[in-house]
């Protein structure tokens, strides 16, 4: 039987296992030194001053919006073409997620649409670097000059734009370390920023809103045990086990991204002549979390089911967020509101793409596509 080829999969080697085992034999399973070491490795890689680890990317988004000062009745502009978490994190804070459509040539938030949606209540603009394509962070900043730009970089760790790593340009950038992402910690997330104040608010938020920092407390001289809860926070901490795995994975990040780019190139070349398939947009800094192709909408479902029947684990990214019943019911969005996102959704299929794939896996996927599309 042909083996199942998922759309994404982690790479774990003996070094990763040894790094986690070493932590398990040590004194600290949580709140020890490994988290800081992992944070520093990501901050240094990206080229920013601060990195704050969270237990997952969704918690990291929640923290970033909190750090930006998002509260009740504020507005957060997000694209509808994303995982629901980008919008949900605004709802957690009592804010209104405001959708703005994508640009059809990048699949990322369109600054022109952002400009149309900005109001005096806009606190955050959150461009998503969809599939790993670097979103137009500067365009979004210009379109919403008073807002904090939080890049959802969950697809884009290791990518670059204008010579800088993804994470160096927005006010804050959020990464996810879910197993299908560029590096994994099982579950995990991180916010990177150059801003000291954002970093302090992120640390406060991920640990119950409790602080021992003299500058953050109201009373100062109660004794060495003393701490204060100065705001409502959560337990969003990352464990030492996760951090040890993350640190070990970071050493391989460049190799992972290079292999993803190689595989994307192989797909590009193999399908260049295939009629009926639109290839993903190219960018020299693309991090290729996904390889999203487009086919005729009337054939998409049959192709999807045909590939799955051939043990090829394709996926669709994403059901637009405004299609979900929660968003339709609560905010009144409906089909037709975001034509570019909806057009992509109707035609999109993500092909398998992860560093452990070999060239033969690409051949297998492309052969099935040819078989189906050439009838």
Ligand X SMILES: Cc1ncc(COP(=O)(O)O)c(C=O)c1O
Give the distance from CA 11 to its chain's centroid.
18
Q: How far is the CB of 217 from ligand X (least distance, A)?
A: 31
The residue whose Cβ lies closest to ligand X is 57
* Other C-beta atoms lying within 10 Å of the C-beta of residue 194: 18
H helix runs in 178-333, sequence order: 196-206, 240-250, 253-271, 297-309, 325-331
Query: 59 vs 147, which CB is nearer to ligand X?
Result: 59
Among residues 68, 99, 276, 264, which one has the least CA distance to residue 174?
68
According to DSSP, the β-strands at 348-351 and 291-295 are antiparallel
The residues near 168 (Cβ < 8 Å, ≥ 6 apart) are 46, 47, 48, 194
How far apart, in Å, are the Cα atoms of 253 and each of 67, 93, 116, 181, 230?
28, 33, 37, 11, 37
| Min separation Cβ 174 and ligand X, Å | 7
Residue 53 to residues 21, 70, 90, 207, Cα–Cα distance (Å): 20, 20, 19, 11
Comparing CB distances to ligand X, the nearer of 292 and 369 is 292
Nearer to ligand X, 203 or 317 (CB): 317
Nearest-approach distance from CB 149 to ligand X, in angstroms: 15
Q: What is the closest distance, in whole angstroms, from the C-beta atom of residue 181 to ligand X in the complex?
A: 7
State the residues that interact with ligand X by CB under 6 A.
Answer: 56-58, 61, 82-83, 85-86, 128, 152, 154-155, 176, 178, 189
Q: Which is nearer to ligand X, 167 or 189 (CB)?
A: 189
Judged by CB, which is closer to ligand X: 123, or 289?
Answer: 289
The alpha carbon dihedral of 40, 42, 45, 51 has a sign of negative
| Shortest reach from residue 295's CB to ligand X, in Å | 22
**Catalytic choice (181, 212, 220, 251):** 181
Q: Is there a catalytic annotation at residue 181?
A: yes
Catalytic (active-site) positions = 181
């Amino acid at each position: 039987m042909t083996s199942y080829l998922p759309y994404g999969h982690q790479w774990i080697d003996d070094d990763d296992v040894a790094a986690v085992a070493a932590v398990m034999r040590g004194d600290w399973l949580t709140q020890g030194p490994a988290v800081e070491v992992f944070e520093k490795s990501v901050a240094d890689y990206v080229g920013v001053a601060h990195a704050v680890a969270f237990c997952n990317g969704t918690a990291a988004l929640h923290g970033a919006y909190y750090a930006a000062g998002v509260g009740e009745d504020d507005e957060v502009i997000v694209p509808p073409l994303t995982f629901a978490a980008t919008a949900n994190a605004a709802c957690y804070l009592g804010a209104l997620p405001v959708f703005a459509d994508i640009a059809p040539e990048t699949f990322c938030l369109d600054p022109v649409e952002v400009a149309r949606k900005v109001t005096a209540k806009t606190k955050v603009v959150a461009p998503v670097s969809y599939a790993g394509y670097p979103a137009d962070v500067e365009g979004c900043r210009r379109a919403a000059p008073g807002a904090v730009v939080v890049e959802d970089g969950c697809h884009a760790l290791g990518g670059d734009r204008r010579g800088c790593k993804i994470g160096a340009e927005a006010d804050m950038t959020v990464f996810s370390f879910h197993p299908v992402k560029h590096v994994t910690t099982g579950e995990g997330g991180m916010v990177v920023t150059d801003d000291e104040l954002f970093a302090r608010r992120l640390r406060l938020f991920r640990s119950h809103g409790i602080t021992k920092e003299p500058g953050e407390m109201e009373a100062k001289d109660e004794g060495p045990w003393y701490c204060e809860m100065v705001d409502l926070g959560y337990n969003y901490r990352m464990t030492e086990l996760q951090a040890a795995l993350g640190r070990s994975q970071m050493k391989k990040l460049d190799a992972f991204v290079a292999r993803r780019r190689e595989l994307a190139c192989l797909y590009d070349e193999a399908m260049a002549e295939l009629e009926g398939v639109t290839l993903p947009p190219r960018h020299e800094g693309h991090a290729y979390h996904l390889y999203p192709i487009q086919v005729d909408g009337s054939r998409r479902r049959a192709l999807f089911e045909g590939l799955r029947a051939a043990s090829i684990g394709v996926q669709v990214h994403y059901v637009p967020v405004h299609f979900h019943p929660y968003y339709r019911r609560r905010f009144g969005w409906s089909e037709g509101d975001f034509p570019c996102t909806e057009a992509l959704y109707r035609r999109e299929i993500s092909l398998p793409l992860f560093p452990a794939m070999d060239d033969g896996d690409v051949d297998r996927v492309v052969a099935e596509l040819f078989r189906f599309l050439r009838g």
